[in-house]
Amino acid sequence: MTVVLISQFSFSADDKAEAMKKLEGTWKGQVDGGATGHQLVISAENIKGTKDGKQDLGTGSYVLDVSTTPWTLDAKGTEGKVKGRDYPGICSLEGDSLKWCVGLKVGQRPSEFKTGGGKFCLILTRQK
């Protein structure tokens, strides 16, 4: 007997476009268990980070994958001190709350929303 399992969930380009639209905007918050004053501005093309309204954390392109749980959100530095660096990450979006955790070592994607061990997790709130 052969059993074929088909996922009841399928993700289309529309799902990704809708998720990306929900990510667009200004987000403020802090590193989980750490530094405060972080701001991300996410557009359809890039993510720009600042700290305390004056320290440039860099700008990068990103790729979102909504077919995984949690979603993956990978950034690549395109400007500033992060230029050329890759940041593999995971994210969770619930209403106006965004968690984005990234690995700081090449190829190291976080498996949980937790800061430490070469990973950091931003806990952010959408700004109106």
Q: What is the tens place of the pLDDT at every residue in 2-30?
A: 333 333 334 456 788 999 999 999 999 99
Q: What is the pTM of this model?
A: 0.85
58 contacts 77 by C-beta, under 8 angstroms: yes
pLDDT of residue 20: 92
List pLDDT tens digits, range 61-102.
Answer: 999 999 999 999 999 999 988 899 999 999 999 999 999 999
| Strand partners for 92 | 99
Q: Phi then psi for 61, rounded to 5 degrees?
A: -80, 165
Q: Are 65 and 71 in contact (CB under 8 A)?
A: yes
> Which domains are delineated in the chain?
13-126 (2.40.128)
Two structure tokens written together for 102: 């990234």
**Residue 16: per-residue pLDDT:** 87
Residue 52: left if φ>0, alpha if ψ -120 to 50, beta else—which one?
A: left
Task: Identify the pLDDT of residue 29.
Answer: 97
Cβ atoms of residues 64 and 72 within 8 Å: yes
DSSP per-residue codes, 43-106: -SSEEEEEETTTEEEEEEEEEEETTSSSEEEEEEEEEGGGTT-EE-EEEEEETTEEEEEEESST
pLDDT tens digits, one per residue of 25-58: 999 999 998 899 999 999 999 999 999 999 999 9
Distance CA 125, CA 30 (A): 9
